Amino acid sequence: YAVQTATSGKDCLEKLKTIKPDVVFLDVRMPEMDGVDTLAQLRKVHEDLPVFLLTAAAYTPRLAEAEKYGVMGFFRKSEDFERAAALIEVTVDKLKES
């Protein structure tokens, strides 16, 4: 995979003006703008882009809010990153089918 990184939610939104990734992973806690706010802004331009939120916390009202913006799922930072790779594979395969 070709991976792009962003240092903040605002940086992510700027990069999405010039690139169209297959999948986005957003940390819930980021400088300047958290992952849920970034997701809300991202949806204004990229309605169907698959987005997963990374979190160290248990399910919270803030994560519940992300669901209204069409988050694909949540990935706990304590989980094995092999699961992240599997999420990417499944998501990319679904994109190819549509």
Spatial CA neighbour of 91 closest among 43, 22, 20: 22
CB-based burial label for 74 (10 Å; 0-12, 13-18, 19+): middle
Q: Are 39 and 51 in contact (CB under 8 A)?
A: yes
pLDDT the model gives residue 6: 93
Backbone angles phi, psi at 33, to 5 degrees: -150, 125
Q: What does the alpha-carbon distance between residue 70 and residue 5 come to, in Å, rounded to a whole number?
A: 21
Per-run averaged pLDDT (10 residues), the chain, 98 residues:
89 95 91 93 94 81 89 80 80 80
pLDDT the model gives residue 42: 97
pLDDT the model gives residue 59: 66
